[in-house]
Structure 1
Amino acid sequence: MTFRLLFLLLAMPVFSQVNYPKDYFKSPLDIPLSLSGSFGELRSNHFHTGLDFKTQQKEGLNVYASADGYVSRIKISTFGYGKAIYITHPNGFTTVYGHLKKASPTIEAFIRDNHYKEETYEIEMFLKPEELLIKQGEIIAFSGNSGGSGGPHLHFEIRETESEKPVNPLLFGFDALIKDTKKPVVTTLMAYPVGENSTVNQSLQPITLNISLQADGSYVSEKVLVNGKVGFGISAYDTFDFNYNKNGLFKVQSYLNGNPHFGYEFNTFAFDESRYINALLDFYRFKKMGVRIQRLFMVNPYPLSLIKTNEKFGVIEVKPNLTNNYRIEVSDFNNNKVVVNVPIQYSPIAPTIASNVKKTDYFLKANNDNIYKKDNMSVFVPAGTFYDDFYLNFDVQNETLTFHDDSVPVHKNFTVTIENSSFSPEEKEKMFIASVSGKSLSFNFTKIKDSVFTSYTKNLGQFALAKDTTPPKISQVNIPEGKWLSKQNNLKLTISDNLSGIKSYNGYLNGKWILFEYDYKTKTLTHEFDERFINEGRNDLKVVVSDNVGNSTIFETHFFRSQKQ
């Protein structure tokens, strides 16, 4: 930790100066590029690692290889990038194409063979350089909406092959393909008292500051009267020409009395540090109000390589008779810039707004191991699980464990343990530690040994033991029993589970395993007909779906189909 923080300090005013090739990679689409997501954009628990290109609100557009190389990895997943292809290039970079509908015929045949070899929909393959060679401009796939996509688009990344760090594609010349003459838009400026006795404008709570637009296009905030220490936060977004999406920022830099104070620039970062987004954000306001305030200071320093700061970590100590000129610059990749000037003045006036921190019997120190026990339940919190110290709400009542709430960000797993010897071995097989929200229960993967139930989770809130004895549901969509389906191209069913969730699904046609693709957004299983598995005339279908505690449902039917057209 000390080494990482020292790096942040030494690197203070200097951002990445790597010279990336500007004309090596071509556009993966043959339509004008328009962004629905930018590199580094603030997402749930992570920074966005690429550019999201709009695909005219439809699927099936040609996706082209951006440069010569070979397919080095293929991953097919229900969540995340969905169907994704990785191409490694001889210049030391790898491009990634995500949320695809399907691959080109040659690659799709390779994928399909592996589906049937592994007998599973979700697969990940790492290929050798000579297996699937690709030329620049070759069609490798067709755009889609697979995985965790909220609508049809192409997710495009450029990564350093060796380190696997994602790099902003705009650094490779893609900025020339996306016109941007618009300045970022600042929506909120916040001031935070730092320390228990600090006040800002007579408040012990964080406050929103009024900002006013000046004739030169900059903003000036209302005067900030401080007794003690203060930090600032900002909410802003960027837009592009011919595009009304609210995208993420490229660069934020603050200055104190003309000197760089705290800043970050979205050139590159590592995947394993992406969750530190929750430390950068005012997480409480994000969870409670849905607004993403980016805090321009650290109370408990964290090692996010994007951030360059000084020994004060963005915190300003305001003293009598000293002038503090604070400035925030918000910029996009094309250096369209918005400046916010914040006048700061010392004030000894007593606070009139009390702190909103609720003190409890438990004060959690983020840098220490912590364990909390009551009755038959306990929680173990390793050092570094949380970013900041806070007063914790911990209790056990009516066989339900309360471990704070989701207004506090969690960086890594903590352990929830419940001991209960009153259940039979058969009952325990169907049990797990559930997260409780009102009357709703949600599944946490649980290990069971003798009478001890253990779950490793990042979910705060309430926990209790739950039992799931109800099997999943399967409903046919276009498979009426005993009917001729010669004019159909596929078989479709919907599947669902009301508690522990779907774990596996397998289909069998005439006794042979067949590929069903699962779309969790619509809860739909789809099998595209393959003449290798179809009988002329009668065909028998069997589908088996299991949940996370082993309850299974079997759906069986038959239909008729003729291959003679």
Structure 2
Amino acid sequence: MKTRLLFLLLSASLFAQTQYPLDYFRSPLDIPLFLSGSFGELRANHFHAGLDFKTQQKEGWPVRAAADGYIARIKISPYGYGKAIYVNHPNGYTTVYGHLSKAGGAIEAYIKKAQYEQQNFEVELFPAAGELPVLKGDTLAFSGNTGGSGGPHLHFEIRNTITEKILNPMLFGFDRLIADTRVPVINTLMVYPIGKESVVNQCHKPQAVSMSLQPDGSYIADKILVNGKVGFGISAYDLTDSNYTKSGAYEIETFNNGNPVFGYRFDTFAFDEGRYVNALLDYPRLKNTGMRIQQLYMEQPYPLSLIRADKSNGVIEAAPNLAQTYKIKVSDAHHNAISIDVPIEYSDLPAIDEAVAVKKTSYLLKSANDNNYTKDNVSVFIPANTFYDDFYLNFDVTNGKLTLADDSVPVHSNITITFEDTVTPEKDREKMFIASVDGKKLSYNFTTRKGNNFTAYTKNLGDFILAKDTVAPVITAANFKEGKWLSKQNTLELTIRDNLSGIKTYNGWLNGQWILFEFDYKNRKIIHRFSDNIYTDGRNDLKVVVSDNVGNSAIFETHFFRKKQ
């Protein structure tokens, strides 16, 4: 009873509903809001940090300031949020607008001025508090598809300005702008034996559990026969009205005989917690099948602040003569909910399969310790807490190839890999790097060199070799031909490719003057806009230089004609 009371008090403390201003922020778009991504949604290596709003499969919608404030940060990048604007507000919050096509008016001029001064498309700017003020409803920018976006949409965030913790915009009244009367969907229920002696339904292996829909809309799972300890996991998603895009669940709670045992709610989290998504998920199943099963227990606790758990950390142990009912409740941000009751019964029936054998190697990695491994000319340093669990590491070096575990093991922080090379001539070493190997495909890892040693920091596992890249990138004209008149075109576009170490820099000059090219890595294009007004009336000579990550460069020169507008 005391344990339950302590859990309830802790839960109330962790999940007390902070009072957020409900009418302070307006919608950043003037069109109806439909979600293409929810707050906390489980993404590759991170939790989604905001709401993604659909833009009717189009770019160019005005993006409005959600409240009065000033632009505190602008980041322009080919990756991540692409073109993004951050606005600080006097109430202590910051709103973020990502994947923009361009900024509006004076803001766009401010960005363009900085890009030409720095001679770089990628800039990060921090205007002073009074430099770029905005009023609620002002046009900050226009929606787009820049950065890592998979289609036109607006990424919108609210953060605490001081702590920079991300907050769910639904807490600020955005739930009123998004109609949702539909309950979440649970499409898979899994049960996991914990420990080599545990048996579930006479099996040592994880199993999917069947569920039956009840008249009240809830589910009852098939009875589970257990000897030992078990944990549960689910695959779940949410749907809003008039929108069939699957979003993540807002809150998951679990109970054993009515006592809360494990749960989490996506109200807020810190950016440096994002990678714990890999601990929350059944990561090997994700890598092997693509299924995202959220595990509702922790075998080895990890410090994800949004989790609440009792002393068992969600692990259930069956006992003779004790009937147990395990309940899972999944809710969305509009308080629509669905639940599953899972009957659990002790059984001493023997397993009909063999216990899952642990493949042992010579290297038992203790996740709480620093670990060093060396063989031949390769060394690997793995800091403490790089992995979530202890396991037998597959470490070997054969014919110059490093094998380090496999990609079914999640990595939380960087591993240091060092190759020593005393054989390659000095003239070739500048072109060498540590490459990840996937079949015949090589992928670049950022590599530094000091003397004979090449070092890379990576969160990837698998096979690695020292590779050499001596081939320069390839540059081709995409929307024009040499010597043609381009008076009716708005842009000058080139395709740039590098098939090994990857593009590092790209620069262009028009009649000897540096011009801005935007890099669209998804389409492998660089784009110059004639509205920058750099060209001359008549003939224009263009020079473009593209370099890869080991210093191979390609030069493209051509000319075209254009009439001054």
**Matched-pair contact (CA < 8 Å) for 1:370–1:382:** yes
Query: Aligned in 2, Cα 1:426/1:397: closer, same or farther, shift over 3 Å?
Result: same
> C-alpha displacement at 1:408, in angstroms?
0.8
SS state of the match for residue 58, structure 2?
A: coil
Render the CA deviation track for 1:109-159: whole Å, top value 9, x for unaligned: 010000001110011111111001101111111100000000000001111
Query: Aligned in 2, Cα 1:12/1:446: closer, same or farther, shift over 3 Å?
Result: farther
> C-alpha displacement at 1:10, in angstroms?
3.8
Q: Which amino acid aligns with 1:425?
A: E
In the other structure, the counterpart of 1:518 is: 519
Render the CA deviation track for 1:392-420: whole Å, top value 9, x for unaligned: 22222222111111111000011112222
Query: Aligned in 2, Cα 1:8/1:48: closer, same or farther, shift over 3 Å?
Result: farther
CA distance in 1, matches of 2:254, 2:526: 51
In the other structure, the counterpart of 2:25 is: 25
CA distance in 2, matches of 1:451, 1:297: 46
CA distance in 2, matches of 1:214, 1:175: 28
**Matched-pair contact (CA < 8 Å) for 1:250–1:265:** yes
CA distance in 1, matches of 2:342, 2:141: 50
> C-alpha displacement at 1:349, in angstroms?
1.8
In the other structure, the counterpart of 2:117 is: 117
CA distance in 2, matches of 1:350, 1:367: 35
Q: Which amino acid aligns with 1:505?
A: Y
SS state of the match for residue 288, structure 1?
A: helix
**Matched-pair contact (CA < 8 Å) for 2:473–2:546:** yes
- Which range moves more in the overlay, 178-187 or 536-545? 536-545
> 1:31-110 maps to which residues of 2 (within 5 A)?
31-110=31-110
- Which range moves more in the overlay, 9-18 or 332-341? 9-18
**Matched-pair contact (CA < 8 Å) for 2:196–2:356:** no
CA distance in 2, matches of 1:46, 1:547: 28
**Matched-pair contact (CA < 8 Å) for 2:7–2:309:** no
> 1:178-217 maps to which residues of 2 (within 5 A)?
178-217=178-217
In the other structure, the counterpart of 2:413 is: 412
> C-alpha displacement at 1:340, in angstroms?
0.5
Render the CA deviation track for 1:322-364: whole Å, top value 9, x for unaligned: 2222100001111111111111111122222224444122322
Give % identity.
62
- What stretches of structure 2 of length at least 5 have no aligned partner? 1-5
SS state of the match for residue 106, structure 1?
A: helix
CA distance in 1, matches of 2:37, 2:532: 40
In the other structure, the counterpart of 2:474 is: 473
CA distance in 1, matches of 2:300, 2:358: 20
> C-alpha displacement at 1:12, in angstroms?
6.8
**Matched-pair contact (CA < 8 Å) for 2:379–2:419:** yes
CA distance in 2, matches of 1:262, 1:197: 23
Render the CA deviation track for 1:41-82: whole Å, top value 9, x for unaligned: 111111111110000100001111111111111100111100
SS state of the match for residue 244, structure 1?
A: strand
Aligned-pair Cα RMSD in Å: 1.5
**Matched-pair contact (CA < 8 Å) for 1:9–1:311:** no
Render the CA deviation track for 1:473-506: whole Å, top value 9, x for unaligned: 1000123112221111111000010100001101
SS state of the match for residue 107, structure 1?
A: helix
In the other structure, the counterpart of 1:460 is: 461
Q: Which amino acid aligns with 1:427?
A: D
In the other structure, the counterpart of 1:394 is: 395
CA distance in 1, matches of 2:279, 2:66: 35
CA distance in 2, matches of 1:425, 1:358: 45
SS state of the match for residue 245, structure 1?
A: strand
Query: Aligned in 2, Cα 1:12/1:427: closer, same or farther, shift over 3 Å?
Result: farther
CA distance in 2, matches of 1:465, 1:327: 52
**Matched-pair contact (CA < 8 Å) for 1:9–1:310:** no
In the other structure, the counterpart of 2:349 is: 349
**Matched-pair contact (CA < 8 Å) for 1:12–1:308:** no
Query: Aligned in 2, Cα 1:61/1:486: closer, same or farther, shift over 3 Å?
Result: same
Q: Which amino acid aligns with 2:45?
A: N
**Matched-pair contact (CA < 8 Å) for 1:24–1:67:** yes
SS state of the match for residue 428, structure 2?
A: helix
SS state of the match for residue 196, structure 2?
A: strand
CA distance in 2, matches of 1:117, 1:480: 30
**Matched-pair contact (CA < 8 Å) for 2:380–2:417:** yes
SS state of the match for residue 522, structure 2?
A: coil
1:177 aligns with 2:167: no
SS state of the match for residue 422, structure 2?
A: coil
In the other structure, the counterpart of 2:240 is: 240
Q: Which amino acid aligns with 2:527?
A: T
> C-alpha displacement at 1:375, in angstroms?
2.1
Q: Which amino acid aligns with 2:511?
A: N
CA distance in 1, matches of 2:142, 2:365: 50
What TM-score do you get using the length of structure 1 for normalisation?
0.97
**Matched-pair contact (CA < 8 Å) for 2:507–2:546:** yes
In the other structure, the counterpart of 1:487 is: 488
In the other structure, the counterpart of 2:365 is: 364
SS state of the match for residue 120, structure 2?
A: coil
> 1:313-324 maps to which residues of 2 (within 5 A)?
313-324=313-324
CA distance in 1, matches of 2:271, 2:512: 43
In the other structure, the counterpart of 1:556 is: 557
CA distance in 2, matches of 1:166, 1:14: 16
Q: Which amino acid aligns with 1:447?
A: T
- What stretches of structure 1 of length at least 5 have no aligned partner? 1-5
CA distance in 2, matches of 1:184, 1:471: 51
CA distance in 1, matches of 2:8, 2:144: 40
**Matched-pair contact (CA < 8 Å) for 1:16–1:267:** no
SS state of the match for residue 246, structure 2?
A: coil
CA distance in 2, matches of 1:49, 1:263: 19
In the other structure, the counterpart of 1:15 is: 15
Render the CA deviation track for 1:295-347: whole Å, top value 9, x for unaligned: 01111100000101111111112222222221000011111111111111111
In the other structure, the counterpart of 2:136 is: 136
- Which range moves more in the overlay, 76-85 or 344-353? 344-353
Q: Which amino acid aligns with 2:40?
A: G
CA distance in 2, matches of 1:235, 1:442: 32
**Matched-pair contact (CA < 8 Å) for 2:100–2:145:** yes
In the other structure, the counterpart of 1:147 is: 147
SS state of the match for residue 109, structure 1?
A: helix
> 1:267-278 maps to which residues of 2 (within 5 A)?
267-278=267-278
Q: Which amino acid aligns with 1:153?
A: H
> C-alpha displacement at 1:531, in angstroms?
5.8
> C-alpha displacement at 1:166, in angstroms?
1.0
What TM-score do you get using the length of structure 2 for normalisation?
0.97
CA distance in 2, matches of 1:405, 1:98: 34
SS state of the match for residue 557, structure 2?
A: strand
SS state of the match for residue 28, structure 1?
A: coil
CA distance in 1, matches of 2:377, 2:110: 52
CA distance in 2, matches of 1:154, 1:357: 47
Query: Aligned in 2, Cα 1:162/1:558: closer, same or farther, shift over 3 Å?
Result: same
CA distance in 2, matches of 1:292, 1:531: 46
CA distance in 1, matches of 2:369, 2:220: 41
CA distance in 1, matches of 2:533, 2:380: 53
> C-alpha displacement at 1:11, in angstroms?
4.2
Query: Aligned in 2, Cα 1:407/1:442: closer, same or farther, shift over 3 Å?
Result: same
Render the CA deviation track for 1:139-183: whole Å, top value 9, x for unaligned: 111100000000000001111111111111111111111000000
**Matched-pair contact (CA < 8 Å) for 2:382–2:416:** yes
In the other structure, the counterpart of 1:380 is: 381
- Which range moves more in the overlay, 330-339 or 374-383? 374-383
In the other structure, the counterpart of 1:260 is: 260
In the other structure, the counterpart of 1:438 is: 439
SS state of the match for residue 313, structure 1?
A: coil
Query: Aligned in 2, Cα 1:261/1:12: closer, same or farther, shift over 3 Å?
Result: farther
Q: Which amino acid aligns with 1:446?
A: T
CA distance in 2, matches of 1:143, 1:476: 27
Query: Aligned in 2, Cα 1:355/1:374: closer, same or farther, shift over 3 Å?
Result: farther
